[in-house]
């Protein structure tokens, strides 16, 4: 049986020195490197597969430090501090350079914890949007492989049809999305979905300036049971920018399942040219 492309991308091999190695996935390739979401998932995966891991993810920050090349990467996850019910992780992904020296491509921190039943409430409900079935699917242009791994049904703020440099004021995008081939949601695939939004500055400026995410954070609000209950259903993502200045802009986003549960909130800062 073939593994789902996402599961294939998450395969890690234990090495004698305690580190693990993985392979970059051609299925999730972006233009000049892996889709950022799959790298974020890989960093989290190194924690989740670690034999000393305690609990489930609460927070993940991934910093895209350098280009990843096709091939092998080393994933080093280290529990920097283990408490009774929380654990703090430092993660580095590394690849060998031309001389064989390992160079850091990605740094990350993660917090895992045992969650307990408490007061609960959502202060940002699922936006009023048509159901996924009412929204046509868009088919991305060929040539960017990772886009074909997701079914996307934009409700608001789709990719500009005209790249005429006409500046807008609204940087909000809402879309229904899920893995294609459908796959039951888990922490790693949710972390990847948190990076699916196209760059806010392209929407703001109707201009495809060069860019790259520098750092992203995901706060997990759902536990594994809630992700499993979300199953292969759609996830609504809403993203917007707050400030663009001197080469960097930020993005704030949230993801809900179809029954209105916020699965995660997520933020990133992105480098751009011009």
Q: Which is nearer to its own copies, 42 or 111 (CB)?
A: 111
Cα separation, 47 vs 70, in Å, equals 22
Phi/psi for 188 (5° steps) reads -70, -45
State in angstroms the smallest separation of the CB of 48 from its own copies: 17
Do the Cβ atoms of 175 and 236 come closer than 8 Å?
yes
State in angstroms the smallest separation of the CB of 37 from its own copies: 18
Do the Cβ atoms of 148 and 140 come closer than 8 Å?
yes
Q: Which is nearer to its own copies, 98 or 274 (CB)?
A: 274
Q: Is the peptide bond between 181 and the residue preceding it cis, with omega within 30 degrees of 0? A: yes
Q: Which is nearer to its own copies, 128 or 245 (CB)?
A: 245
Q: Which is nearer to its own copies, 183 or 221 (CB)?
A: 221
State in angstroms the smallest separation of the CB of 21 from its own copies: 19
Q: Which is nearer to its own copies, 81 or 139 (CB)?
A: 81
Positions touching its own copies (CB under 8 A) are 58-59, 61, 63, 65-66, 80-81, 83, 86, 88, 90, 92, 103-105, 107-109, 111, 113, 115-124, 167, 169, 171, 201, 204-205, 209, 214-215, 217, 219, 221-223, 240-248, 250, 252, 254, 262, 265, 267, 269, 271-274
State in angstroms the smallest separation of the CB of 201 from its own copies: 8
Cα separation, 93 vs 154, in Å, equals 33
Which stretches does DSSP call E strand in 12-101?
12-14, 20-23, 56-64, 72-82, 86-96
Query: Which three-class secondary structure state does DSSP give residue 31?
Result: coil
């Amino acid at each position: 049986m073939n593994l789902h492309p996402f599961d294939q991308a998450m395969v890690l091999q234990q090495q004698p020195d305690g580190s693990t190695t993985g392979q970059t996935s051609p299925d999730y390739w972006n233009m000049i490197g892996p889709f950022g979401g799959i790298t974020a998932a890989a960093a989290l995966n190194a924690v989740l597969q670690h034999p000393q891991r305690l609990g489930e993810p609460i927070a993940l920050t991934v910093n895209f430090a350098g280009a990843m090349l096709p091939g092998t990467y080393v994933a080093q996850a280290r529990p920097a501090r283990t408490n009774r019910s929380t654990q703090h992780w430092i993660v580095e992904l590394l690849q060998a350079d031309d001389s064989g020296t390992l160079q850091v491509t990605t740094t990350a921190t993660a917090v895992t914890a045992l969650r307990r039943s408490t007061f609960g409430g959502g202060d940002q409900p699922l936006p009023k949007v048509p159901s996924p079935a009412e929204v046509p699917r868009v088919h991305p242009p060929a040539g960017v492989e990772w886009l074909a791994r997701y079914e996307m049904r934009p409700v608001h703020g789709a990719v500009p049809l005209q790249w005429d440099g006409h500046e807008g004021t609204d940087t909000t995008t809402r879309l229904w999305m899920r893995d294609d081939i459908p796959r039951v949601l888990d922490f790693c695939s949710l972390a990847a979905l948190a990076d699916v939004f196209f760059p806010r500055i392209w929407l703001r400026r109707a201009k495809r300036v060069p860019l790259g995410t520098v750092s992203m954070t995901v706060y997990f609000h759902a536990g594994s049971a809630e992700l499993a209950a979300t199953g292969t259903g759609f996830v609504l993502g809403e993203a917007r920018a707050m400030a663009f200045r001197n080469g960097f802009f930020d993005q704030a986003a949230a993801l809900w399942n179809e029954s209105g549960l916020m699965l995660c909130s997520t933020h990133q800062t992105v480098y751009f040219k011009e």
